[in-house]
Structure formats: C-alpha cells, structure tokens
Amino acid sequence: MKISAIRAYQIDLPLHEGKYSWSGGNAVSVFDSTVVAVETDEGLTGWGEVCPLGPAYLPAYARGARAGIAELAPQLLGADPLALGELNELMDRSMRGHPYVKSAIDMACWDLLGKASGLPVATLMGGHVGNDFALYRAISQESPAQMAKKIALYRKQGYHKFQLKVGGDPDTDIDRIRAAAAELSRGDVLIADANTGWTQHAAIRIADAVRDVDVYIEQPCMTYEQCLAVRRHTDRPFVLDEVVDGIDMVVRGVADHAMDVINLKISKVGGLTRARQIRDLCVSLGIAMTIEDTWGGDITTAAIAHLAHSTPERFLFSSTDFNSYVTVAFADGAPHRIKGRLSASREPGLGVRPNLKLLGKPVIDITNGDGVGTDSV
C-alpha cells in the first residue's frame, strides 16, 4: 500500500458557550480546524485532524498547520502509510520540528492501519479497557462566582472532574479555587489549570493559600524550571502540561519528581505514534495522564478516545470530549459523551466517516511530487 494523495480541508468549529477563555486574557470563540485525508493506491482513505488552540497557546497556529502540510505532503507520496515508524522518520527528515503539522497525517495513517487490518485503533494500541472512561470538563475563565456555578451544571451532565481556567490575578484565582471547591461533592476532582499564566512567586503564594483545599495544581508557570520550583514548595498534587512536549521531558520530569500527572496532547507531540510511546512510558513509570489534544472536533475526539480507552484505568487520570463543546458535527461514527463518560468505536480504524459536503473543497490537494497547497481562508 502506498500513499497516492494527501488532501486537507478547513472547517470552523464555533463554541456552544460562545467563548473559551484562559490565562493571559486569551480567548477563542471559533476554532479553526484542519481535516486531513490520506488516500492510498488500494482505495482506502484515512482521516486525521489538527486544531491548535489559537496562535497564543503553543507554538502552533491553524494556518501554519495547513502551510506545513502543503510543504510536507509531497515528500510522503509513495510512502507506505502502514509503516508508521518509518513514516514518522520520513516526516522528521523532511521537516525539522513542527510536530503539530505532522499530527493529522500520522493520525490518518493509524486510521488506515485499522481499516487495512480490520481492527479498531484502540485494539492496535493495546485493547479497549473496560466499557468506557471518565471525562473532565474545562471551566472557562470568568468571575469566581460564575465559575463555581458551572460545577453543578456540568455535574448534571455527568462530569465529576473539573478543570478551572485560572492563571490571572492571584487574589482572584485564590477566590476561584475556593469558590469552586465549596461546590464539590464527594468523588469530584478539582484541577486549577494556570496554563503558564502565573509567575513563580505568585504561583508559590497561591499554592500556599489553598494548601487546605483538595485541588490539583496544573502548569503554573511558563518554564519547566519555574514549575519545578513551585512543585518543591507545595504538597498539592501536581500536573505538567505545556512543557511536556516529548518523551525526553517525561524522563526529565520523572527524574526530578516534577509531577504526578501529565497532560498528553496528541498534536503537541506529533501524532498518535509518539503519543502512544509516551503513554506506554508513563504506564511503565507509574505516571498518570490526562489524554487529550489542543482542541478539535469529531476526528480529534475519536483519536483521543482510542488512545484513552486503551490505557490502563489506574493511569488514565482523565480525558475529554472536544466535540461536545462545539456546534458543528462533521463526521458520522464519532464518539459522544454519555453521562460524563466516553468510549472508542469498535469499528475498524478510528470509526469516523466525514461528511464531505460539510467539509467542502480541499484547501490543499497534493497528488504528485509537484503539487502545491492553497489555503483559501
């Protein structure tokens, strides 16, 4: 089997709640997602998706994903999409860095591997663990009272893990954490996610101020070293996210006792192949994970579900269902939340069937070595 064409589509994903806000005054109301189709000479097509959380969250942005795919795709024509290790080596030789550009292509090739073998991606990654798995709900940054009020609303939808978007004024963030904690029921879990928004001294002050609260502290500062300093000053359980961008950072973090949990985002590390390597290492080292991505719709949610559902339950801290946050559904077969839980498809591959009418014309269409991409948005 050989790759015969790579096409990419752009789709807007507006949010049900109108806006998603996090540290630094950042906010997004419509997510700009890129859907990738990898076609083969045997008639099979695999699907992937990449959706950066705007341009100010990680070193990634939507137009950059499409520009990178247009640059990279011609180098992959004729390659075997089922030889995932070799394919990733080829992508790394052809384009240094830019893991988010490679993620949707790698994801689509996992979809192809499942379709070619007749197996779900979760089976290929270790097998479905149980019937489903628990999700968290992110609570967009608002006033302490507004954020606390969301706890009861989301609990009615079946969620029991709540990720507060903090990372602003320290006094307000202390109030946010305490107000949300006051609304928790037995069995609920609270995470204060600063998304790198605190300085080191502010983070240490906040962690000390909530030392009597049952709360996880997530990615308080911009750098690994700053986060490690905060970690060494608090006994609250600690999560690293933005700085964990590869397997080397997991090894370093474990050696330094820098975290109890990591957030494993598929596109941040370059796709499902690298995410599975990190997942398996974390399982071996006893580090729990929230398995997710930067954002996305139906295809990203399906990929998250397959990786999460094949993870041993005691090491799966949480996961997410991004397609429930947005107003546009563009693929049949995508997983959907039931009472705060999600399950991966039992169909071959990712189990998704995109609606080509909704996707429209491709903005990138690479069918030969001289092909070029055009981003029409």
Q: Hey, which residues are catalytic here?
A: 165, 265
Cβ contacts of residue 353 below 8 Å, gap of 6+? 331, 332, 333
Largest Cα separation within the chain, whole Å, is 62
CB atoms within 10 A of CB 93: 9
- What are the angstrom distances between the C-alpha of 41 and each of 112, 151, 244, 288? 12, 50, 37, 40
- The per-residue b/e assignment along 334-343, b for 16 or more CB within 10 angstroms, e otherwise, is bbebeebbbb
Element (H, E) at 274: helix 272-285
Order across the sheet with 316-319: list the strands.
Answer: 136-139, 161-165, 189-193, 216-218, 238-240, 261-265, 288-292, 316-319
Q: Name the E strands within the chain.
A: 3-14, 20-21, 27-28, 30-40, 45-50, 133-134, 136-139, 161-165, 189-193, 216-218, 238-240, 261-265, 288-292, 316-319, 331-332, 341-342, 353-354, 364-366
- Tell me the residue type at 229: A
The closest alpha carbon to 193, from 376, 20, 62, 9, belongs to 20
Residue written as token pair 């080292």: 285
Q: Which two tokens stand for residue 266?
A: 């598929």
